[in-house]
Amino acid sequence: MNEVTVTRAAAPDAIPTPRTAAARRRARRWQLRLAARQVGYEHRSFWRNRSRAFFSFLMPIILLVIAGSVNRGDRITERGNVAFATFFVPGILAYGIITATFANLAASLTLLRDQGVLKRMRGTPLPPWAYMVGRVGSSTLAMLELVAVTLAVGWAAFGTHVRGSTLPGLALALVAGMVCFTALGIGATTVIPNADAAQPVTTALVLPLTFISGIFFVPERLPAWLNQVAGAFPIKRLADALQFAYDPRTGGAGIAGHDLVVLALWTAAGVALMRSFRWESNRP
Amino acid sequence: MTAITVRDLHKSYARFEAVRGIDLDVADGEVFCLLGPNGAGKTTTVEILEGYRRATSGVVRVLGHDPAAAGPGMYDRIGIVLQQCGVQDDLSVGELLDMYASYYTRPRPIDEVIELVELDAKRGARAKTLSGGQRRRLDLALALVGDPDLIFLDEPTTGFDPSARRHAWSTVKTLCSLGKTVFLTTHFMDEAQALADRVAVMVGGRVVAAGTPDDLGGRDRAPTRIRFELPDGVGAADLPDLGTSRVSATPTGVEVVTSEGMAVVNRLSGWALERDHDLAGFSLSQPTLEDIYLSLTEDTSSKEAVR
């Protein structure tokens, strides 16, 4: 094969792999900045996609307002005669964490995979981890925004207060729930074949479990076996942990140890699934 | 300096061997075209160069990097235009260029890139509102925004109408005037002819010919074909001595195939003028790139069929 030689200004071959510790630190700082900026871009996209914003964000708020209003004035005798909202607000927090992280990530990542956006991102200097930080950062922001709105609506419309003494338990449950359902949301994309299947699959997983997980119905009024089944899954555990922190009968810091352990196990399952994460669609 | 080196590259999938041992050298600053029919292994090859797929065996270097182990260092210097690839639909053209530019260590000014692909009017438009052609231009803009030394274009004009193709070609020519190395795959011969400094023809996972568009497959040395009609009463046997030429009868006249075109034309015209013969329909042709390409791909595919 004949070589065509072209003379031109010498450009550096490529930025060399950083060799010194200082250069590595500089490269890492640059990449962290990229990751932080990516969170901003991803979150802008999140709010512009109306249908996704509706399902992951508005839905839990609508349910809170409707069910809270329907059951206004009800007291739950099985739980020390607390107001319905004291039971329902933490339940909606759990539901909101799931829609903002799990359902949101499973749907958006499968769609981006099908569209080829994930493949395109792999062809840029943005490290794959920094891109994932952007995605997860956006879903975490959506979750925090949803938590804030839920707490505000719960306080303004139903007079539900966060208890100061059990705040550590509440915060820990929120973080554990976020981590667990983020891992499961990313992990779920490895078993969801394509974007068309994402919504049905996540709904089929979340909806039935939500009904038996003590979010809309008081668990004490359900058959014992159903509570046991639900207890194996993370939705009930998250709802439990949050309700525990809200329950006026709870003493101490309000940390629900058993629930957190089960959430940790499900987090590990999600991480195990994440290991076979695909950046490209299987579709031809 | 070579932008791309490939030695004895093989890629096997579960059931078939897509790439069966190819060698390529792409020099800095040239437009290199991998030409071949659909299913020849072009996209597999280019995706190995881009780091999307791992070679089964062989040596690959892209700007000095092994793409299979490449990190941000390689991607900082290359631009990729994939076949049919989506983009973050809810962001605008300007936002997308800002975002992608932020990934590179020395991005090209965004205004310049937008102007180059003529999307100035669409700067504020969300990506999902763009037409097909505008999307392809956005693809190119996103590949250029890092001011890469090397650009991969995988079948960049498939599905374009003729004027959009001409337009895309002029953009590629602009790229090479900027000193970029371009690695192009296509199944259009005219595209290779119009753009490439060098062409490699790939069929059935192998490179069957390589060269410039003019000398590919020995085209520059291929014999000249001269055709004309003879007047009534004159036969092929009456023609003058035409040296080593091969003379054969066609339905309407005579065909002469020769490697000494000028001498034969001179002798024929002298002979005809002397006898006052009018050689109607006199024509002279050299094989086109298309003739060469078709003969190369037909040969190989019939061989593949036997195997």
The residues spanned by each domain of chain A are 36-274
Average pLDDT along chain B: 88
Q: pLDDT above 70 covers what percent of chain B? A: 97
Task: Characterise B67 by phi-psi region: left (phi > 0), alpha (psi -120 to 50), beta (else).
Answer: alpha
Cβ neighbours around B289 below 10 Å, total: 19
Q: How confident is the model at residue A98 (pLDDT cuts 50, 70, 90)?
A: very high
pTM for this entry: 0.84
The nearest alpha carbon in chain B to A6 belongs to B29
* Least-confidence region, from A122-126, B133-137, B179-183, B214-218: B214-218
Q: Which residues, 6+ apart, have CB-to-CB distance to A86 below 8 Å? A: A160, A246, A247, A248
pLDDT-derived band at A11 (thresholds 50, 70, 90) equals very low
Report which residue type is found at A176.
A
Q: Does residue A8 surpass a pLDDT of 50?
A: no
CB B295 within 8 A of CB B217: yes
What is the mean pLDDT of the segment spanning A192-211? 93
Please give the Cα distance from B192 to B181 (Å, whole number): 15
Position A282 scores a pLDDT of 81
| Six-digit token string for A217 | 């119905």
Report d(CA A54, CA B49) in Å as an integer.
41
- Mean pLDDT for the stretch of residues A7-24: 57
The pLDDT, as a whole number, for residue B300 is 58
Disruptive mutation site among A32, A117, A124 for chain B (greatest number of B CBs within 10 Å): A124
Chain B residues within an 8 Å CB radius of A1: 23-25, 198, 210-211
Amino acid B299: pLDDT? 63
**Residue in B28, B152, B220 to test binding to A, most A beta-carbons within 10 Å:** B28
Which of A69-78, A90-99, B225-234, B288-297 is least confident?
B288-297
**Paired tokens of B122:** 């669409």
Task: Please identify which residue in the block is written with the tokens 């260092």.
Answer: B73
Check residue B283 and give its pLDDT: 86
Contact A125 B28 (CB under 8 A): no
Contact B185, B151 (CB under 8 A): no
Lowest-pLDDT range of A165-174, A273-282, B208-217: B208-217
Average pLDDT of the segment spanning A106-121: 95
Write the pLDDT tens digit of every residue in B152-208: 999 888 777 888 888 888 888 888 888 899 999 998 888 888 899 999 999 999 999
- Over residues B30-76, the pLDDT tens digits come to 999 999 988 899 999 999 999 999 999 999 999 999 999 988 999 99
Q: Residue A161 in contact with residue A167, Cβ under 8 Å?
A: no
pLDDT digits (tens, 9 = 90+) for B275-299: 888 888 888 887 777 777 887 777 6
Query: A96 versus A18: which is more confidently predicted?
Result: A96
**Predicted local confidence at residue A13, as pLDDT:** 39
pLDDT higher for B16 or A42? A42
A4/B198 CB distance under 8 A:
yes
Contacts A119 to B, Cβ<8 Å: 52, 82, 85
How many CB pairs below 8 A link A and B?
117
- Give the Cα-Cα-Cα angle A157, A158, A163 (nearest 5 degrees): 120
**DSSP-H helix ranges across chain A:** 21-48, 50-53, 59-70, 84-97, 104-115, 117-122, 128-158, 167-188, 195-212, 224-231, 234-246, 257-274
Candidates B63, B80, B103; nearest CB to A34: B103
